Amino acid sequence: MRNTASFTVTNTLQFKQQMLGWANRFNICCFLDSHDYHDIYQSYNCLVGVGAATIFNPQDDFLKRLKAFTQQHDDWLFGHISYEANSTLASQNSFADHLQFPEIFLFQPQIVVELISNTATIHTLAESAENVFAAIKNFSHRAAVSATEIHIQHRVSKEDYLETVEELRQQILRGNCYEINFCQEFFAENVALDPLYVYQQLLQFSPTPFAAFYKIYDKYVCCASPERYLKKTGSTIISQPIKGTIKRDHKNGVNDEALKQQLQHSKKDQSENVMVVDLVRNDLSKICVEGSVHVKELFGVYTFPTVHQMISTIAGELKANVDVAEVLNATFPMGSMTGAPKKKVMELIHKFEVSKRGIYSGSIGYITPQKNFDFNVVIRSIMYNETNKYLSYQVGSGITFNSIAEQEYEECLLKAEAIKKALR
What are the pLDDT digits (tens) for 52-88? 999 999 988 887 899 899 988 899 999 999 998 876 6
64 is annotated as an active-site residue: no
Average pLDDT of the residues in 338-352: 93
Q: Is 227 a catalytic residue?
A: yes
Where are the domains positioned within the chain? 3-423
Residue 63: per-residue pLDDT: 79
Distance CA 79, CA 60 (A): 17
CB 300 within 8 A of CB 238: no
Chain centroid, CA 353 distance in Å:
20
Query: What is the value of pTM for the model shown?
Result: 0.95
Neighbours of 409 (CB within 10 A): 18
Q: Given this model, what pLDDT does residue 79 score? A: 98
Q: In sequence order, which residues have a C-beta less than 8 Å from that of residue 288 and are 6 or more positions away?
A: 237, 316, 317, 318, 319
Summarize pLDDT for 105-124 with one digit per residue, the tens. 999 999 999 999 999 999 99
b/e burial code for range 105-121 (CB count within 10 A of at least 16 → b): bbbbbbbbbbbbeeebb
Cβ proximity of 303 and 234 under 8 Å: no
Burial of 45 from C-beta contacts in 10 A (0-12 / 13-18 / 19+): buried
Measured between alpha carbons, how far is 181 from 346 in angstroms, rounded to an integer?
9
Q: Which of 227, 353, 408, 411 is catalytic?
A: 227
Q: Which of 219, 243, 356, 415 is catalytic?
A: 243
The pLDDT of residue 206: 85
Q: Domain 3-423, what fold?
A: Anthranilate synthase (3.60.120)
Whole-angstrom distance, CA of residue 328 vs CA of residue 63? 8
Whole-number Å distance between alpha carbons of 407 and 410: 5
Q: Where are the alpha helices (DSSP H) in 295-404?
A: 324-331, 342-352
Residue 91 clears pLDDT 60, i.e. is over it: no
- Report angle CA 409, 282, 82 to the nearest 5 degrees: 55
Is the predicted pLDDT of residue 145 greater than 70, yes or no?
no
- The torsion angle over the Cα atoms of residues 306, 311, 316 and 319, rounded to 10 degrees, is -50
pLDDT in tens, 268-309: 899 889 999 999 999 999 999 999 999 999 999 999 888 899
For 84, residues 6+ apart whose C-beta sits below 8 A from its C-beta are 90, 93, 103, 356, 357, 358
The band of 101, judged by pLDDT with boundaries at 50, 70 and 90, is very high
Distances (CA, A) of 371 to 87, 235, 256, 366: 24, 10, 41, 10
Helix axes 195-205, 12-23, angle to 10 degrees: 150
* Range of weakest confidence among 152-156, 202-206, 238-242, 314-318: 202-206
**Cα separation, 410 vs 105, whole angstroms:** 34
Answer with the residue of higher pLDDT: 40 or 376: 376
CA proximity to 337, closest of 353, 317, 314 = 353
Q: Per-residue pLDDT averaged across 362-373, rounded?
A: 96
Q: Are 398 and 181 in contact (CB under 8 A)?
A: yes
- Strands, E assignment, 305-424: 307-317, 339-340, 363-367, 373-376, 381-385, 390-399
Express each pLDDT in 5-31 by its tens digit: 999 999 999 999 999 999 999 999 999
C-alpha 341/C-alpha 336 separation (Å) is 11
Distance of alpha carbon 358 from alpha carbon 390, whole angstroms: 14
